[in-house]
């Protein structure tokens, strides 16, 4: 049965009891050992004339070096059974080589397979023990052919073990990388949700102010307009009731958001661009460096939602500058235009690494800019330093209405 998918494939490499050679078919687990056994027996039969004695023993050893191989390759074999089969194959190979001076090609292949499987399972100590006897035979052997075969097997077994260990390390590292990436994505998602909840709370305060003004103006118009028809008074009353109902529902929603975020109700008004100078002064005092506020264009009163967004972007950008470029000078620039408000915060530090582009602070700034239909661009500034630039659209009609 073929196992598909990277997750399940890596899971087969975790424990020795779950590791196979890498073949996906049970048929191959049986066909390969049978083929090696036939090859080993055929080699013993072909070389029977050259054997001085021990023909029957060599036949048994040829079978012992290959027959247990299905227990090593089988995915359903227990760890103890697999280790025992590998030990039996190695012992049979060593006995074939040292007393009789003959090790079949099938036995060599089976020995290499055992060492590779153990290395791929992470059992490096056991795989190293299987290489050690061949090293001893190569150093202490008396016959030259036996020593040559021992050196060859020791070299090939070491290479097979190294290959298996490399596969094990690579698969383990890949599994850890996937886990760490999933954990990082989860943290980023939670941070995005928290930032959206915070934005929703602040925008709620702004919208609630406008809705309350609608209710007050409707009630004032109904009571102070002389000669108002009854139908008009009824509609103004309905407008006021609808605005008050909407305000009640929004406050209920705000309470839920604040309970989710475990924060208390804020009683002070939301900050705007009028408080920006205070923010710059606080940043200058905290960082102990030069922080300038540059304003260009005709200064006008903007929609409270735009002002809150601009204030929070500048606040987060100054915080990032203190964190990643301590002591660097920072310029905060507001450029009022007919169509948009440009907010630029630039420091002359070394520039943040690219990995900070996915940080929670920059994510929050992008979320805020997107809520009012704006855009945000961050990255290394020309000539050095780091630049945060936001463009927030300003509607002329809303601007006039807000100013009035």
The pLDDT tens digits of the residues spanning 53-101 come to 567 778 888 888 887 887 777 665 667 777 788 888 888 888 888 777 7
Average model confidence (pLDDT) across the chain = 75
pTM: 0.43
Encoded tokens for 308 = 């809150």
Q: Which of the 8 DSSP states describes residue 347? A: E
Computed from CA positions of residues 252, 256, 258, 259, in that sequence, does the dihedral angle turn out positive or negative? Answer: positive
303's CB contacts (< 8 A; 6+ apart) are 206, 394, 395, 398, 399, 402
pLDDT value at residue 334: 93
Percent of residues in the chain assigned helix, strand, coil, to nearest 5 = 70, 10, 25
Residue 12 CA neighbour count, 13 Å, CB half: 20
How far apart, in whole angstroms, are the C-alpha atoms of residue 344 and residue 340? 13
CB contact burial 57-82 (16+ within 10 A = b; e otherwise): ebeebbbbbbbbbbbbbbbebeeeeb
pLDDT for the residue numbered 165: 83
Rounded to whole angstroms, how far apart are CA atoms 182 and 187? Answer: 9
pLDDT at 346: 92
pLDDT of residue 295: 92
Q: What angle do CA 182, 184, 188 make, to 5 degrees?
A: 115
Where the chain has pLDDT below 50, the residues are 1-24, 261-267, 353-358, 396-404
Domain map of the chain by residue range?
A: 6-181, 182-261, 273-403
Q: Which of 106, 104, 105, 130 is nearest to 117 (CA)?
A: 130
| 326-368 pLDDT tens trace | 888 899 999 999 889 999 999 988 765 444 444 557 777 888 8
Q: What Rg do the C-alpha atoms of the chain give, in angstroms?
A: 39
Burial, 175: exposed, middle or buried (Cβ in 10 Å; 0-12, 13-18, 19+)? middle
Per-residue pLDDT at 77: 62
* 319 closest CA partner among 359, 354, 353: 359
Q: What is the side-by-side order of every strand in the sheet holding 291-296?
A: 291-296, 330-336, 340-347, 386-393, 375-380
Tokens representing 70 are: 């299905």
Q: Please tell me the number of Cα atoms within 13 Å of 4 on its side-chain side.
A: 0
| DSSP code at position 333 | E
Assigned CATH for 273-403: 3.30.565.10
């Amino acid at each position: 049965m073929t196992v598909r998918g990277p997750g399940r494939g890596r899971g087969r490499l975790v424990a020795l009891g779950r590791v196979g050679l890498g073949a996906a078919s049970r048929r191959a687990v049986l066909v390969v050992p049978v083929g090696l056994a036939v090859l080993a027996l055929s080699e013993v039969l072909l070389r029977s004339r050259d054997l001085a004695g021990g023909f029957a023993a060599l036949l048994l050893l040829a079978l012992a070096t290959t027959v247990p191989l299905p227990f090593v390759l089988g995915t359903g074999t227990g760890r103890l059974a697999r280790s025992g089969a590998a030990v039996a194959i190695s012992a049979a190979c060593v006995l074939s080589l040292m007393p009789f001076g003959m090790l079949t090609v099938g036995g060599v292949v089976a020995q290499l397979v055992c060492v590779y499987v153990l290395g791929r399972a992470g059992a490096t100590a056991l795989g190293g023990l299987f290489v050690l006897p061949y090293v001893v035979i190569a150093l202490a052997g008396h016959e030259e052919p036996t020593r040559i075969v021992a050196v060859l097997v020791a070299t090939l077994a070491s290479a097979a073990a190294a290959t298996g260990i490399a596969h094990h390390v690579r698969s383990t590292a890949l599994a850890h990388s996937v886990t760490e990436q999933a954990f990082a994505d989860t943290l980023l998602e939670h941070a995005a949700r928290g930032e959206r909840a915070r934005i929703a709370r602040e925008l709620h305060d702004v919208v609630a102010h406008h809705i309350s003004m609608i209710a007050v103006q409707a009630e004032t118009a109904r009571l102070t307009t002389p000669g108002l028809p009854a139908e008009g008074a009824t509609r103004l009353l309905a407008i006021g009731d609808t605005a008050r109902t909407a305000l009640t529902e929004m406050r209920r929603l705000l309470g839920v958001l604040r309970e989710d975020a475990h924060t208390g109700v804020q009683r002070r008004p939301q900050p705007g661009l009028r408080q920006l100078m205070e923010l710059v002064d606080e940043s200058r005092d905290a960082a102990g460096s030069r922080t300038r506020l540059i304003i260009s264009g005709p200064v006008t009163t903007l929609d409270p939602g735009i002002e809150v967004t601009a204030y929070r972007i500048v606040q987060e950008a100054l915080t990032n500058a203190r964190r990643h470029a301590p002591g660097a000078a920072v310029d905060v620039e507001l450029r009022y235009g007919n169509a948009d408000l440009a907010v630029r915060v630039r420091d002359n530090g070394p520039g943040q690494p690219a990995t900070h582009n996915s940080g929670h602070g920059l994510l929050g700034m992008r979320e805020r800019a997107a809520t009012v239909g704006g855009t945000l661009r961050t990255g290394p500034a020309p000539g050095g330093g780091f630049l945060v630039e936001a463009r927030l659209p300003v509607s002329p009609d809303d601007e006039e209405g807000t100013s009035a």
